[in-house]
Amino acid sequence: MSVAFRFLTAGESHGEALVAVIDGVPAGLPLAEADINADLARRQRGYGRGGRMKIERDQVHILSGVRGGATLGSPITLEIPNRDWENWKTTMAVGAPEPGAAQKPVTRPRPGHADLAGAMKYGHHDIRNVLERSSARETTARVAVAGIAKRLLAEFGVTILSHVTEIGPARIAPDLDLAWEEVRRRAEASEVRCADPAAEAAMIAAIDEAKARGDTLGGVFEVVALGCPVGLGSYVQWDRRLDGRLAQAFCSIQAIKGCELGLGFETARRPGSAVHDEILFDAESGFKRASNNAGGLEGGVTNGQPVVVRAAMKPLSTLRTPLKSVDVATKEAVEAVVERSDVCAVPAAGIVGEAMMAIALADAFLEKFGGDSLAEVRRNYDAYLDGLKSW
């Protein structure tokens, strides 16, 4: 599969900085650091976050690919400094340790984390070499990358929102029926990014109970893209289907164990007559749907409806009341190591979900309408929409 919008991230959780390089952004896209910093701040909020978020004040610095407030068409490099680096300079130093400054290795892997499998794969006997990169701190760089993807999509009327639908045993009312903009407004005003006030209170109580037990909680968040045109993605090959690309993007997020599009697993429990979205037509608005059970995708292609993806996040694997483990050095039964962590990060994970939605859609958008400059992309986009008017 060719990739129109591609990126790499680098950096460790307690290293000096996180870095991202993005390729494929057309020239002429207006871009400022403020366009990225807003979502970096949103990622740091949420009830149940730990002490790390009190240290960091994530701000991006654009190192390349932008001049005079607009992209150049060349690779864009982003840097997000880690403020906590000041406390980890010796432990995470790039150079060889100074004499007498031997580091105490981490040897007690956490169940549910990349610790043991990663150490065995790469031959590390100090698990810190694994946990630093496998940490969800890496998603800071993804959210920064997505700030550019969102900026591109916004030029063509595509916007993305998210909200939390479940945390632990608490979930939103099944009959909650709100316009998407109202969902956005309520979520942004909520400590747990939930649009249902009764569920919000239950979620906060559940987080408090888990914290008191030294436990953690997962949950479910929903991400919605509004304004997507018909025709992103393709049905002609497995790796071009946009639903598959979205599933891969969401399941690449740390701690995500499943995702569904539209009605998702509920479609397996209903007859076809209660699943498929009936097609309507009128001369003024053209083709439209009576519902959106498909979540905006049919056959791997966007159909003009909102694109809806939900993701399930497992409870975080660092518990204040740790689970049983085995010391990889001594092979003795021990309790898992306790790293500084959150009780619940589902609200923040929704922002990361927005990021991966934006990245996947920007890639599909440029695949469909790509050009070397924003003006060229716009000409291709406008010509395509003009062609659809004859349907």
pLDDT value of position 52 = 58
For 2-18, how does the pLDDT look when each residue is reduced to its tens digit (9 = 90+)?
679 999 999 999 999 99
CA–CA separation, 150 and 159 (whole Å): 7
- Helix, strand, or coil here: 182? helix
pLDDT value at residue 97 = 78
Helix-helix angle 374-388:346-369, to 10 degrees: 80
Which tens digit of pLDDT belongs to each residue from 9-52? 999 999 999 999 999 999 999 999 999 999 999 999 888 776 65
pLDDT value, residue 163: 98
- The overall average pLDDT reported for the chain is 94
pLDDT given at position 104: 87
3-state secondary structure at position 186: helix
| Residue 367 pLDDT grade (very low, low, confident, very high; cuts 50, 70, 90) | very high
**Which two tokens mark 77?**
């490099």
Q: How confident is the model at residue 177 (pLDDT cuts 50, 70, 90)?
A: very high
Does position 206 have pLDDT exceeding 80, yes or no? yes
- Angle at which helix 139-154 crosses helix 33-44, to 10 degrees, equals 130
Sketch the domain layout of the chain as residue ranges: 6-388
End-to-end CA, the chain: 30
What percentage of the chain has pLDDT greater than the value 70?
97
Question: What are 225-252's pLDDT values in tens digits?
Answer: 999 999 999 999 999 999 999 999 999 9
Contact present, 320 and 106 (Cβ < 8 Å): no
Model confidence band, residue 81 (pLDDT cutoffs 50, 70, 90): very high
**Overall average pLDDT of the 43-64 stretch:** 82
18-44 residues labelled b (16+ CB within 10 A) or e (exposed):
bbbbbebbbbbbebeeebbbebbebbb
Q: How far apart are CA 91 and CA 87, in angstroms?
A: 9
Cα–Cα distance between 326 and 267 in angstroms, integer? Answer: 42
The one-letter amino acid at 214: G
Distance CA 33, CA 36 (A): 5
Q: Give pLDDT, residue 43.
A: 95
Alpha-carbon distance 242 to 248, whole Å? 10
Within 8 A by CB and 6+ apart from 37, the residues are 58, 59, 60, 147
pLDDT of residue 385: 96
Q: Is 306 exposed, middle or buried (0-12, 13-18, 19+ CB in 10 A)?
A: middle
Biggest distance spanned by C-alpha atoms of the chain: 80
> What local confidence, expressed as pLDDT, does residue 2 receive?
60
In this prediction the pTM is 0.95
- Quick: pLDDT tens for 262-305: 999 999 999 999 999 999 999 888 899 999 999 999 999 999 99
Q: Enter the tokens of residue 145.
A: 């990358």
Neighbouring residues of 223: CB distance < 8 A, sequence distance ≥ 6: 160, 161, 162, 250, 308, 309, 310, 311, 350, 353, 354, 357
| Other residues' Cβ atoms within 10 Å of the Cβ of residue 335 | 14
Mark 126-140 as b/e (b = at least 16 C-beta within 10 Å): ebbbbbbbbbbbbbb
Q: What is the CA radius of gyration of the chain?
A: 22
* Long-range pairs, 9-12, Cβ under 8 A, ≥24: 9/138, 9/141, 9/142, 9/145, 10/141, 11/82, 11/138, 11/141, 12/92, 12/132, 12/133, 12/135
pLDDT, residue 101, reads: 65
pLDDT the model gives residue 182: 98
Tell whether the model's pLDDT for residue 310 goes beyond 60.
Answer: yes
Q: What is the mean pLDDT of residues 149-173?
A: 98
**What's the sign of the alpha-carbon dihedral 285, 287, 378, 144?**
positive
Give which of 140, 143, 138, 187 is closest to 162, Cα–Cα.
187
230 burial (CB, 10 Å; 0-12 / 13-18 / 19+) is middle
pLDDT value for 51 = 60
Q: How far is CA 17 from CA 245, 361, 382, in A?
A: 29, 27, 40
Rounded to whole angstroms, how far apart are CA atoms 272 and 32? Answer: 47
Checking if the pLDDT of 174 tops 80, the result is yes
Q: Is the pLDDT of residue 377 over 60?
A: yes
Q: CA–CA separation, 306 vs 365, rounded Å?
A: 15
Mean pLDDT of 339-355: 92
DSSP 60: -
> What local confidence, expressed as pLDDT, does residue 168 receive?
97
> Looking at residue 331, what is its pLDDT?
96
H-assigned helices in the chain:
33-44, 52-55, 115-122, 128-134, 139-154, 180-189, 197-213, 242-251, 346-369, 374-388
DSSP per residue, 203-241? HHHHHHHHHHHT----EEEEEEEESPPTT-B-SSSGGG-
Looking at the structure, give the CATH architecture of the domain made up of residues 6-388. Answer: 4-Layer Sandwich (3.60)
What tens digit of pLDDT does each residue of 82-133 get?
A: 988 888 988 998 988 777 666 789 999 999 999 999 999 999 999 999 999 9
- Residue 337: its pLDDT value, please? 86
